[in-house]
Amino acid sequence: MAGALATDAQHATKQKGKRVRSSRSRWLVFQFAPVSLFALKPSRATSTAGKTLLIPTPYAVKMGILDVSLRHALTDSPGDLVRTLSKADLRIGVPEHACVTGTIQRIRQQTRDEDRKKDPDLPPYRANIAMRECLHHQGTLRVAFDERSCTSELVALFMAAAPAINYFGKRGGFFQYLGASRQDSLDLTFTQPVSDSGHGEFEGHRAILDDFGPSATFAALNSFSATKIERGVDRVFVETLVPLAFFNSGPGFIHFRVERELQSKPAAP
């Protein structure tokens, strides 16, 4: 399998700039094993509301690819890479189990400028408390790209970048790369936009996941740039069906899991 994928990557490089039209399969799927606790707050959460999403968002995955591509010199044009990534259709295959643990932590919070104007003796940071959640995954996280939405050049970059990715979302949420495969279709353990049809038998919950916007630019996504991200242009928020359903709860934890029958039902042809 690894040899076949390497051959495909070399072929993709020769077909520079063309959209992939593979007759064998539609989805390029990367597998990752969770090796530490995961946490990723919704993009619209406040700094002290530390509830976590159950999975990485498409935005977090694409930023991981962009980060690795820059660190390992896999691209000479980050602007072009952002534009092609914004067109790539991505689905997340959820692990079998996800257990959320909530806790209250002492934190250091930045003092607001208005408060410091009233009292210049206030320190830059003050002690406070905040709710934090962390998530334990059991199973394999999968990231699937629709090759019909990717150029062959982008597919080749995915093959080179994926093994170097070691975390998604918040730093410290480590994942280990396991491998890659190609599939003709995805089962219902993968996320689906609510706008898509054919999810009548879905079991799970709805979440707002962010993604690259249709006209995203590297300047807007770059943390060191003064350019502001514009909603709907550089970043979009998509209501998504996440196939992790509530299973159990107790003091300080909530357990979600994938219903077993979903693993054999196709979601996307």
Q: 19 pairs with which residues across the strands? A: 151
**Pairing between β-strand 253-257 and β-strand 245-250 as defined by DSSP bridges:** antiparallel
Compute the distance between CA of residue 169 and CA of residue 57 in angstroms, rounded to an integer: 8
Q: Would the pLDDT of 23 be above 50?
A: no
* pLDDT confidence of residue 197: 59
Between 28-42, 148-162, 199-213, the lowest mean confidence (pLDDT) is in 199-213
pLDDT tens by residue, 134-185: 999 999 999 999 999 999 999 999 999 999 999 998 777 899 999 999 999 9
Backbone dihedral region of 198: left (phi > 0), alpha (psi from -120 to 50 degrees) or beta?
Answer: left
Cβ-contact 7, 156 below 8 angstroms: no
Compute the distance between CA of residue 133 and CA of residue 145 in angstroms, rounded to an integer: 29
Compute the distance between CA of residue 241 and CA of residue 202 in angstroms, rounded to an integer: 8
Q: How far is CA 19 from CA 23, 98, 161, 245, in A?
A: 13, 36, 19, 36
SS3 10: helix
Query: What phi, psi does 82 have (nearest 5°)?
Result: -60, -40
Between 132-146, 196-210, 234-248, the lowest mean confidence (pLDDT) is in 196-210
CATH class of segment(s) 2-268: alpha beta
224-238 average pLDDT score: 91
Order the strands of the 205-212 sheet from edge to edge. 192-193, 235-242, 205-212
